[in-house]
Structure 1
Amino acid sequence: MRLKVVTISLVSLLLMGCGDKTKPQKSDIPLFEAFLASNPISEVSSEIAIDSIYKPGDALFNAVWGVQRRRWDIAEKELKPWVEKNDPEAMFWMASIIYGSSILDTPKAKLLFMESAKLGNPYAALFFSPKNNQCQLYYSDVCSEEWVSKAQTLFAEQAKKGDVRGIYYSKVLNNPTHEEYVQAVIEAAENHYYYPLVEYANKTARKHEPNKDMEKMAIKLLQYARYHNFVPAIEALGNYEAKNNRANGREIKSLDKQGLMLGSNIAWTQYRIDALENETLSNEQKYIIAKATDIFNGDSFALGYIDAPKNEQELIEANEKAQQRVDEVKKVIYIDGAHVPLY
């Protein structure tokens, strides 16, 4: 059975409130066709050319890698010393993973978001947008356009330094025309920032009865980002295949395999589902997959249905093999401050 996840569980802050300005139109097709023609790619690249906010070795890489994997325990442990040093990015990420977790952490997160914004983090400021449903849910008394203006100023400062996200978000938050919005999406993709392209495509591909020409264009755009190894595009294409009753086809198997190696949480969950249902696997093989999934993103569901090896040495060896599978995942950060995983 294919795991059907038709929504990406991320808080996407930057598209809220843009309304009709970001609504896909048929007149967009020639613009995107020209973009694809000038940037041809027809198979998965051997390189991972995406604009990541952190690289291995950066101070916050392990923390955000934990956030991306939904390993909140790892993320919180890694972030804590940086929060104590008043690092604004660490404050933002810490607030992002605790704000809805308890009655004690929710007010603590509010202060962290605010302090992070004051120290220059635009995503922290944008969290308090009145159009952010998470702000309305937890901090409705402080959600205001003043915070959006603060975010605009901060993004503009980043844009001056050539930051691709700063350039994109300073444009889309500045009341662009529809054509300006589309050009901003294209420019971001040309600079290896693919979230805007995927979000644009998803608006069309997820419609119940989309225009067929627009739907074809949306899939082309998702494939473009997928060929560049961008995980949200891989997941969106998998959801599209499942929605169209092709859950067991060759394409979805290819997407799952690619997603597994790139750290897709959806692909890893599907990995353990397939293992549980696969009668050709031994109990040890199923245990290794279940344990690997638990290590990777804390999904321990399958471990409740599989017996662990009773021999101590066999258990040690199985756990080592599980860890090895996790270690084989390519460590690339694809989330950012505008796209934070939800619980």
Structure 2
Amino acid sequence: MMYFNHALRKLAVVASLVLSVSGCAPNPQDDIPLFKTFIAENIDKVSEDPYISSTVRPGDALYRFFVQLQHGRVKEEVYEPLKGGDSESKLWYAKLSLPYNELRGEVYQFLTESMQAGNPYAALELSEQGEFCQRYGKGSARSKLFNKMGLSTIYESDVCDEAYFELAVEGFEKLAQQGDLRAQYFFLKQKNWDQSTETRAEYIQEIIRFAEAHYYQPLMDYVGTILFYSKEENKDISNTQEQHELAIKLLTIASNNNYIPAIYKLYFATINKDEKEKLINKSFVLGDIRMIKYQLFKEQGGSPEQYYYNAIIKELSGHYLFSPEKSGKEPDVQLQAEKFAESIRSSVYIDGFTDSGDWN
């Protein structure tokens, strides 16, 4: 049984999304002048607001949940209350439960309930682009396994349908018209403006517009096209020195506005020791548990410094990264870690489009 009007199957929205672009493939080197004014006006601005680029702020619905999710605290006491919440809460309960085969029926239930309540992210999750479809839909490895085992998969014929994507598009269209930047970026990606020299400048201007509103995921996606990991060199590289410098400047702007993914990427892209130290301090204050873990593994095993980082991780995530060794200094170090953890003002970078592998 489908949970929305059959007429939605005939929506022509999807067809109108994809812009047919022509012309030569763009050269990223030509992008550099397009960013010149934006960089000049923003490179030296440093925000003191820890939440300026945060998806949600303290006091907002689900702020505490998103912070705990980023910190790796996803035990029952964290996400169980989501089951009784609104469509957004149900969506996140479903997304958290996706890896568990035994919960697939419950996941499907909550996704459909969230979708019925008008949440386009839930509809997208059930479409061919969604993780639920890819994990459990018809033709998936799990679906074939369940069928061999004689287990019921009554919903498999009701997911991965194009109509789910059409419904998601309709929902995102409403959000975009209301000024939702994430929904607007969803549509920008469908247009493929970045793939042609004829529309490349418009694409860059949109990336800049999002960044000026402190929504930095589009900028990060762009940086990923000019600064990418080389297995041979074991570091991020660019095709030209000018593109590398552009990437550093764009990451610096996002980092100056407390966007955690940019701080993390910039740390590994810069070689200046003083700058690295500043980035470490900034990321710690914003509660980036990935950076804290990284620093922990750099310390000598059993050292007070390593225990300090381990204790901070325990305060944030609810568990030590590894069982700490006992030492005479442990009580003092533990107290310092607890005090520091209390001072953290966590910025949130997760949204409905964030892949589960990038949550923490």
TM range (shorter): 0.7 to 0.9
1:113 alignment partner AA: L
Maintained 8 Å contact 1:51/1:193: yes
TM-superposed deviation, 1:145: 3.8
* Residues in 2 aligned to 1:58 and 1:118: alpha-carbon distance in whole angstroms: 23
> Which of 143, 163, 167 lines up with 1:150 in the alignment?
167
Partner residue in 2 for 1:169:
186
Show the 5 A alignment for 1:69-108. 69-73=71-75, 76-85=76-85, 87-100=86-99, 102-108=100-106
* Residues in 1 aligned to 2:50 and 2:300: alpha-carbon distance in whole angstroms: 31
> Which of 119, 122, 125 lines up with 1:124 in the alignment?
122
Maintained 8 Å contact 1:69/1:265: yes
1:115 alignment partner AA: E
Q: What does the per-residue CA deviation read over 1:191-235, in whole Å, with 9 as the maximum and x for residues that have no partner? A: 110111011102211154632122221221111101111000011
Partner residue in 1 for 2:3:
none
Partner residue in 1 for 2:309:
289
2:59 alignment partner AA: G
Which one has the largest radius of gyration?
2
Distance 1:147 1:321, change over 3 A: same
Q: When the two structures are aligned, how many residues end up with a matched partner?
A: 308
Q: Is it true that 1:264 corresponds to 2:291 in the alignment? A: no
TM-superposed deviation, 1:43: 5.9
> Which of 213, 217, 221 lines up with 1:191 in the alignment?
213
Q: Is it true that 1:327 corresponds to 2:342 in the alignment? A: yes
Taking structure 2 as the reference length, what is the TM-score of the superposition? Answer: 0.73
* Residues in 2 aligned to 1:84 and 1:250: alpha-carbon distance in whole angstroms: 48
* Residues in 2 aligned to 1:254 and 1:126: alpha-carbon distance in whole angstroms: 39
Distance 1:124 1:179, change over 3 A: farther
Moved over 6 A (4+): 20-24
CA RMSD of aligned residues (A): 3.3
Report the secondary structure of 1:339's partner residue: coil
* Residues in 1 aligned to 2:47 and 2:107: alpha-carbon distance in whole angstroms: 39
* Residues in 2 aligned to 1:298 and 1:24: alpha-carbon distance in whole angstroms: 47
TM-superposed deviation, 1:167: 2.7
TM-superposed deviation, 1:335: 1.3
Taking structure 1 as the reference length, what is the TM-score of the superposition? Answer: 0.77
Gaps of 5+ in 1: 1-16
Q: What does the per-residue CA deviation read over 1:22-71, in whole Å, with 9 as the maximum and x for residues that have no partner? A: 9873332222223223x323264323363433221223211111112121
Maintained 8 Å contact 2:126/2:133: yes
Show the 5 A alignment for 1:47-58. 47-48=49-50, 50-58=52-60
Maintained 8 Å contact 1:287/1:307: no
Distance 1:217 1:253, change over 3 A: same
Judge which range, 152-161 or 218-227, deviates more. Answer: 152-161
* Residues in 2 aligned to 1:134 and 1:267: alpha-carbon distance in whole angstroms: 30
* Residues in 2 aligned to 1:152 and 1:51: alpha-carbon distance in whole angstroms: 25
* Residues in 2 aligned to 1:44 and 1:293: alpha-carbon distance in whole angstroms: 27
Q: Is it true that 1:31 corresponds to 2:34 in the alignment? A: yes
Maintained 8 Å contact 1:99/1:108: no
* Residues in 1 aligned to 2:278 and 2:132: alpha-carbon distance in whole angstroms: 35
Distance 1:263 1:340, change over 3 A: farther
Distance 1:205 1:326, change over 3 A: same
Gaps of 5+ in 2: 1-17, 141-155, 194-198, 231-236
Show the 5 A alignment for 1:5-24. none
Q: Is it true that 1:307 corresponds to 2:326 in the alignment? A: yes
Maintained 8 Å contact 1:67/1:97: no
